[in-house]
Amino acid sequence: MRLTDTTPPRIGPYRVVAPLGEGAMSTVYRGEAPDGGAVALKLLRGDLLASTERAVVLARFRREAEIGRRLAHPHIVRVLDHGEWLGSPYLVMELAEGRDLKHRMETGGVAPDRAIALMGAVLDALAHAHALGIVHRDVKPANIMVDDALVPKVMDFGIAQIPRSDITGPGDLLGTPAYIAPELLHGRPADARSDLFSAGVVLYALLTRRRPFSGSVAEVMQKILFDAPPPPSAVAPHLPPAVDAVVMTALEKDPARRYPGAAAFRSALDAAAAAFDADATLAGVTLIPAATATGAPAAADALRARIAALAAVPLSEKELAGIARLLDDALAAPARPGLRAAVVEDGVVPLAALVAAAMPAPGAGPGQARDDWMRLVRLLARLGDAADRLDGGEDAAAAIDAAVFEVQSAVQLYADRLSRLLMAGDEPDLGPIAADFLRLDVLLLALETLGAERELRAARGTLNLFANQVMRKVNLILADALAGTPDDGLAAVPEGDEAARAAARFGVALVLARVEELLAIAGRLSEAGDALRLRAVGDAVIAEFIGHARRLTALTVAELRAEAAAGADARAFAGRLGMLAALYAFATRLHGAAEPAAAALALTEELHAGVRALLDAVAAAPPGDRDGTLRVAAVHDMAERLGWAEIRIAAVAVLRRRLVAG
Residues 106 and 83 in one domain: no
Q: Which of 21-35, 112-126, 236-250, 590-604 has the lowest mean pLDDT?
A: 590-604
Sheet containing 88-94: give its strands across: 10-11, 14-22, 26-32, 38-44, 88-94, 79-85
Q: At 86, is the secondary structure helix, strand, or coil? A: coil
- 447 belongs to a structural domain: no
Phi, psi of 430 (to 5 degrees): -75, -25
Q: What is the mean pLDDT of the chain?
A: 80
pLDDT in tens, 513-525: 666 666 666 656 5
Split at pLDDT 50, 70, 90, the class of 326 is confident
pLDDT of residue 435: 74
Residue 533 pLDDT greater than 50, yes or no: yes
Residue 538 pLDDT greater than 50, yes or no: yes
Residue 493 pLDDT greater than 90, yes or no: no
Positive/negative CA dihedral, 305, 306, 310, 314: positive
pLDDT of residue 462: 74
pLDDT of residue 292: 40
Domain encompassing residue 604: 452-661
Phi, psi of 276 (to 5 degrees): -75, 130
Alpha carbons 561 and 274: distance in angstroms, whole number: 58
Residue 465 pLDDT greater than 80, yes or no: no
Domain boundary, last residue among 281, 303, 338: 281
pLDDT of residue 352: 95
Residues 398 and 510 in one domain: no
Domain boundary, last residue among 48, 64, 94: 94
The answer to whether residues 164 and 71 touch, using CB atoms and an 8 Å cutoff, is: no
Element holding 20 (H helix, E strand): strand 14-22
Q: Is 138 a catalytic residue?
A: yes
Element holding 152 (H helix, E strand): strand 152-154
The answer to whether residues 410 and 361 touch, using CB atoms and an 8 Å cutoff, is: yes
- 121 belongs to a structural domain: yes
Residues 83 and 105 in one domain: no
Closest CA to 446 of 415, 418, 391, 409: 409
Residues 473 and 584 in one domain: yes
- 429 belongs to a structural domain: no
Alpha carbons 633 and 377: distance in angstroms, whole number: 37
| Distance set, CA 405 to CA 7, 358, 413, 597 (Å) | 28, 14, 12, 39
- Among 35, 100, 124, 138, which one carries the catalytic annotation? 138
Neighbours of 23 (CB within 10 A): 13
Would residue 272 be called left, alpha or beta, if left means φ above 0 and alpha means ψ between -120 and 50 degrees? alpha
Residue 279 pLDDT greater than 60, yes or no: no
Residue 488 pLDDT greater than 80, yes or no: no
Q: Which of 94-98, 441-445, 512-516, 650-654 has the lowest mean pLDDT?
A: 512-516
Alpha carbons 155 and 146: distance in angstroms, whole number: 11
Alpha carbons 545 and 547: distance in angstroms, whole number: 5
Would residue 425 be called left, alpha or beta, if left means φ above 0 and alpha means ψ between -120 and 50 degrees? left
pLDDT in tens, 183-194: 988 888 889 999
Q: Which of 259-268, 322-331, 491-500 has the lowest mean pLDDT?
A: 491-500
- 657 belongs to a structural domain: yes
Alpha carbons 266 and 145: distance in angstroms, whole number: 19
pLDDT in tens, 212-224: 998 888 899 999 9
Residues 468 and 363 in one domain: no
Residue 529 pLDDT greater than 50, yes or no: no
Residues 159 and 245 in one domain: yes
Alpha carbons 628 and 623: distance in angstroms, whole number: 8
pLDDT of residue 425: 65
Residues 380 and 470 in one domain: no
User: How many structural domains is the chain composed of?
Assistant: 4
- 163 belongs to a structural domain: yes
Q: At 26, is the secondary structure helix, strand, or coil? A: strand
pLDDT of residue 391: 82
- 202 belongs to a structural domain: yes
- 441 belongs to a structural domain: no
Contacts for 354 with CB less than 8 Å, ≥ 6 apart = 310, 311, 376
- 3 belongs to a structural domain: no
Domain boundary, last residue among 281, 308, 343: 281
What's the rounded mean pLDDT across residues 548-559? 83
